[in-house]
Structure 1
Amino acid sequence: MRRLAALIAASALVLTGCSLPRHDPEVTFHANGKTIRVEPAVYCDVNGDNCAEKTKPAQLRVPAGKVVQISVDGQLADGLWEAVFLYRDAAGKEQTTGTGLLGKGENFTYTVSLPNKTDQLLGIEIHEAAAAVLETGQPLLRGYWAVEITS
């Protein structure tokens, strides 16, 4: 009986042209025994237009030498995304590096591991590519998720 009720409800949605409410994709970060889910700081439509600022960066405590596990939801994983991270090396110099483009339905997770145990992670951004491409050939940014790291 429940299956029939669910089928009727789904059919009504299709027939009336309504759809279930959609939520913006979230990214999960896990480090040092703590997990946080982060909404996009900025999110645009698929063409990179009509952008809305959503939230301020989240914060996560990550001691030097520890890894951060990142998990993106299916909407991001089906498209193109990358992780960009800022860290301070043993000499005190700030460095930026990243993953390059991931996704296409194959990459749902990534583990941030810095080159040396003494390096201190300072921040992580997840970037989602839009359908549009810049004149340089680089994908236009659709949205990003930001985490500030505290030690």
Structure 2
Amino acid sequence: MRRLASVLAASVLVLTGCALPRHYPEVTFYANGKTIRVEPAVYCDLNGDNCAERGKPAQLKVPAGKVVQISVDGQIANGIWEAVFLYREANGQEKTSGTNLLGKGEDFTYTLALPNKTDQLLGIEIHEAAAAVMQTGEPLLRGFWAVEVTG
């Protein structure tokens, strides 16, 4: 009986105070023979509230003209997500571009290829939409994953 009481007490401690860390969905980036898995820089609850900053952007070397393959966690793919990227054209002009909305259980991957072979990718963000929308009708951001690109 005493042994059962100590097991129950230990179980209560585990359930109340020592919960396992929360798993955040990851995004995988592959370019130039290197793969990195990235946790969100910011991640919120499903309604876009209670946000936690998770850290700095990851870094990935991507020479001009190379593609980046992006693969999102199933949790992200079942919702709505997009890839937004910054790049520099050969003439030095910086541009921002992005995908249409992806996901809905259909899009787990995306291949990012810039318009011209001489364009240099500078950064990538993956945005996951929350269940809520802003007054403009745009989805509220739930989380984002950031990668700084070196040439």
TM-score by length of 1: 0.86
Aligned to 1:75: 75
Partner SS, residue 65 of structure 1: coil
TM-score by length of 2: 0.86
Structure 1 residue 22, shift from structure 2 partner: 4.5
The answer to whether residue 97 in structure 2 is matched with residue 97 in structure 1 is yes
Distance in 2, matches of 1:53 and 1:22, equals: 14
- List 4+ stretches of structure 1 deviating above 6 A: none
Structure 1 residue 90, shift from structure 2 partner: 1.3
Structure 1 residue 30, shift from structure 2 partner: 0.1
Structure 1 residue 100, shift from structure 2 partner: 1.6
The answer to whether residue 102 in structure 2 is matched with residue 127 in structure 1 is no
Letter in 2 for 1:72: V
Identity of counterpart residues, as a percentage?
81
Structure 1 residue 64, shift from structure 2 partner: 0.2
Structure 1 residue 91, shift from structure 2 partner: 1.1
Structure 1 residue 119, shift from structure 2 partner: 0.1
Partner SS, residue 77 of structure 2: helix
Partner SS, residue 91 of structure 2: coil
Structure 1 residue 21, shift from structure 2 partner: 6.2
Aligned to 2:4: none
Structure 2: segments with no counterpart, 5+ residues: 1-14
Aligned to 2:11: none
Alignment RMSD (CA, Å): 1.4
The answer to whether residue 43 in structure 2 is matched with residue 43 in structure 1 is yes
Partner SS, residue 76 of structure 1: helix
Structure 1: segments with no counterpart, 5+ residues: 1-15
Aligned to 1:108: 108
Aligned to 1:53: 53
Aligned to 2:62: 62
Deviations 1:61-118 (A, max 9, x none): 0000000000001000000000000000111100000002100000000000000000
The answer to whether residue 130 in structure 2 is matched with residue 146 in structure 1 is no
Partner SS, residue 147 of structure 1: strand
Letter in 1 for 2:31: A
Distance in 1, matches of 2:113 and 2:91, equals: 18
Distance in 2, matches of 1:141 and 1:91, equals: 33
Higher radius of gyration, 1 or 2: 2
